[in-house]
C-alpha cells in the first residue's frame, strides 16, 4: 500500500514537472523595464523571451489604454486562461489570453501575437508588441537601458 501511495505521489510530481517543462522551453534571457505613459506614468518589469518583450499581468494592465477594476480580472487555472473585462457586465468587450497560444482574443476577434504566451515560474507572460499594435500604441526600445517604452496615441 505504501508503495502505491509513493508511486502515485511520484507520478503526480512528474506530471506537474513535465507540464511546466512544456513552457520552460522558452528562452528567457533577462528582465527588462517596461515604462508606460499610456494612462499616467507607470513602470513595471517584463522579460525578454525568445527575443521578444513580454509583460506579466501588472505590466499588461499598465500598458492598456483603459483602466481595469480588480474585479475585471479572472484566472482559470484549469485552462491557464487570463480574462480581462474592461467593462464589468459586458461579456463581449473582454481580452482573453491562454498559456501556450500564439494569439489572444479581443472583443471576440483572434489577434495573432507572433510568439507564444508562456508561464514562467507560475506567472503568465504575454508578448507586448501585438497588444500594443492592436491598441495603436507606439513602442520604443532602448537597448542601453534595457527599457521598452509604451506611448499612448495622444502622445504620438
Tens of pLDDT, residues 96-112: 999 999 999 998 899 99
pTM, two decimal places: 0.77
Whether the CB-CB separation of 102 and 113 falls below 8 Å is answered with yes
Give the whole-angstrom CA distance, residue 120 versus residue 23.
7
- The tens digit of pLDDT for each residue in 46-65 reads 999 988 999 999 999 999 99
Q: Report how far Cα 113 is from the mean position of its chain's Cα atoms.
A: 11
Amino acid at each position: 500500500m505504501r508503495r502505491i501511495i509513493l508511486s502515485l505521489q511520484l507520478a503526480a510530481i512528474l506530471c506537474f514537472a513535465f507540464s511546466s517543462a512544456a513552457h520552460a522551453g522558452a528562452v528567457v534571457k533577462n528582465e527588462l523595464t517596461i515604462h508606460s505613459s499610456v494612462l499616467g506614468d507607470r513602470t513595471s518589469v517584463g522579460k525578454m523571451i525568445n527575443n521578444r518583450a513580454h509583460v506579466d499581468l501588472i505590466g499588461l494592465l499598465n500598458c492598456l489604454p483603459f483602466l481595469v477594476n480588480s474585479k475585471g480580472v479572472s484566472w482559470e487555472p484549469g485552462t491557464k486562461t487570463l480574462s480581462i473585462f474592461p467593462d464589468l457586465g459586458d461579456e463581449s468587450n473582454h481580452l482573453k489570453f491562454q498559456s501556450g497560444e500564439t494569439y489572444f482574443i479581443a472583443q471576440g476577434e483572434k489577434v495573432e501575437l507572433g510568439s507564444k504566451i508562456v508561464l514562467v515560474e507560475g506567472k503568465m507572460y504575454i508578448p507586448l508588441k501585438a497588444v500594443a499594435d492592436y491598441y495603436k500604441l507606439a513602442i520604443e526600445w532602448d537597448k542601453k537601458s534595457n527599457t521598452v517604452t509604451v506611448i499612448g496615441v495622444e502622445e504620438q
